[in-house]
Chain A
Amino acid sequence: MHIPDSFMPLTQGLVYWAIALIFIGLSLRWARKDMSEDRIPLVAVLAAGIFALQSFNLPVSMGTSGHLIGGALAAIVLGSPFAAVFILTLVLIVQGVVFGDGGITTMGANIINMGVIGGFVGFYSFKGLMVATKSMNVSGFAAAWLACLIPALAAAVEMYLAGTFPLQEGLIAVGIYHALIGFIEGFVTIVAIRLILSARPDIVNLGMPMEKRAGA
């Protein structure tokens, strides 16, 4: 879902950068106020894991592959959508600057899609679904699926505004592929949450009582 420089005019890229910088500032405020010392290892390990998982493309049929984005995972485990913005911004900087995966001028758009939209959709749909279903597996899977699909649809709209994709055809293609990639997002997110919970339940913030954390 990484938009390259060649897919977007410079001026539009700068507009997305300006919006992204607001959320980056808010994520730094989250880090300053809400990130306790004992959770720093979790934040760093999540960044390394998300980077590695984003490089692992899995086939989803129709000649297409996909990988975890990680916005939902970071936001759910750390209990804030701004955690996703913080981590995804730094991961996207490494990917764009060192590996050319995602552009430099389009990095703001990529941060908005994967960090901001992915983080907010993942976090709030998880919270809402937890109230409705009381199931961590169902809520985590569905939230992660949505946090893959909706940022992708946003990217399709951005591509339309950039003159790169026609709107309807772009939304259909991007939507269908990411509806399938969302199953990878959902499955990996659930597995990762369970692994982290089993290793360090004390530093995970799912926003619910401990006994519900383990229950599916």
Chain B
Amino acid sequence: MEGRTFLLLGIAVALLIGVLAVFFASPDPDGLESAALVVQGEKTLTGSPPENAEIQESPDGKFSYAAPMPDYSLGERLGPLGGVIAIVVGTVLAFALVLGSSKLVRHIRGNRKAKPGQ
């Protein structure tokens, strides 16, 4: 498979996985969140968390930051469409950031090699 085909097919598969995740990902807390609920007494180790279970956070003296698309969504108004847009933006951003950084690093290496005496 040629490089360009691999690139396009790879990004298409990643986008497909991301879009499917919006509709089919489990709403259960992840491993670290679930462990936090256990140690805080909000759920048992083997049981499901109650509907109103919330992780108690202590933001005192800690950094706080409001992300532009929290929880991979654009708010309740847009619903699943907002989730799809967020995932597509994130997937493309991750792809572009790594591609750009890789090219930049390669470019710097090329410049160093081109300089005589190095």
Contact = CB atoms under 8 A, between A and B. Distances in A.
A104 interface: yes
Interface of B is mostly: helix
B15 interface: yes
Contacts of A174: 31-32, 35
A177 B31 contact: yes
B9 A57 contact: no
A173 B95 contact: no
A45 B105 contact: no
B95 A48 contact: yes
Interface stretch (A123-131, A139-147, A164-172): A164-172
Nearest to A201: B1
A63 B11 contact: no
A97 interface: yes
A47 B11 CA distance: 10
Nearest to B1: A199
Contact of A62 (B34, B39, B57): B34
A7 B28 contact: no
Interface in A1-42: 1-10, 13, 28, 31-33, 35, 37-38, 40-42
A165 to B, nearest CB: 5
A207 interface: no
A65 B7 contact: no
A55 B3 contact: no
Contacts of B17: 49, 52-53, 56
Question: Which size bracket describes the interface of B in this complex?
Answer: 35 or more
Question: Which size bracket describes the interface of A in this complex?
Answer: 35 or more
A44 B67 contact: no
Contacts of A138: none
B41 to A, nearest CB: 10
Nearest to A93: B97
Contacts of A5: 59, 62-65
A80 interface: no
B70 A52 contact: no
Nearest to A152: B31
Contacts of A53: 17
A89 to B, nearest CB: 9
Interface in A161-216: 164-166, 169-170, 172-174, 176-178, 181, 199-200
A1 B98 CA distance: 22
Interface in B41-72: 43, 45-49, 57-59, 61-72
B25 interface: yes
Given A4-B57, A55-B21, A58-B26, 15 more contacts: A31-B105, A35-B105, A41-B7, A48-B91, A48-B95, A49-B13, A51-B91, A55-B72, A62-B45, A86-B98, A99-B72, A99-B86, A99-B90, A173-B38, A174-B35
24 contacts: A10-B63, A32-B105, A32-B108, A40-B102, A45-B10, A47-B98, A47-B99, A48-B15, A51-B91, A56-B25, A62-B34, A62-B45, A65-B26, A90-B94, A100-B70, A100-B71, A104-B65, A155-B32, A156-B35, A166-B39, A169-B38, A173-B34, A181-B30, A200-B6
